[in-house]
Amino acid sequence: MIGRIRAQKSAVYAERRYVLRVLAVRGRTTGEIRTVPIAVIQLNGRRYVCSPHCRRDWVRNLLSVGQAEIERDEHPAYRAVLVEGYEAARVIHTYVNALGTSSMAWPFSPSATVSENRAHTGTTAVFRLESHRG
């Protein structure tokens, strides 16, 4: 999947849509750079990455180091801020709806409301990406 993302022309960010990118984050134990294919969703002009499971390695690495790079972005370095509650639920709701198809990976139905999604923000992970130039 990473090879396919790198081989394609980069999609342009658009409100309430996601683009596929490659996220690079330093490993929490080894310190080595780890890459993962990721959907970056834009909502209210902000960019987010989310995971249906907070125990995934890339999530745990991001929680540990707090920063990542998104390949092919104009300013690829980001500070990753874990968001919870209503903000996280809105991002998840927007992302799942942008998929246009159901996904068994998420712990709720694609037709779930933002309020219903909020009940799952303790087991999912949503990070707001804040530009970090330096």
pLDDT tens per residue, range 23-51 = 999 999 999 999 999 999 999 999 999 99
Instruction: State how far the Cα of 73 lies from the Cα of 125, in Å rounded to an integer.
Output: 22
Phi, psi of 24 (to 5 degrees): -115, 125
For residue 79, list its beta bridge partners. 67, 130
Q: At 85, is the secondary structure helix, strand, or coil?
A: helix
pLDDT tens per residue, range 12-29 = 999 999 999 999 999 999
Domain ranges of the chain: 2-131
**Looking at 32-41, 86-95, 117-126, which range is the least confident one?**
117-126
pLDDT at 22: 98
- pTM for the predicted model, two decimal places: 0.93
Instruction: State how far the Cα of 99 lies from the Cα of 80, in Å rounded to an integer.
Output: 23
Beta 33-43 vs 77-83: how paired, if at all?
Answer: unpaired
Superfamily of domain 2-131: Electron Transport, Fmn-binding Protein; Chain A (2.30.110.10)
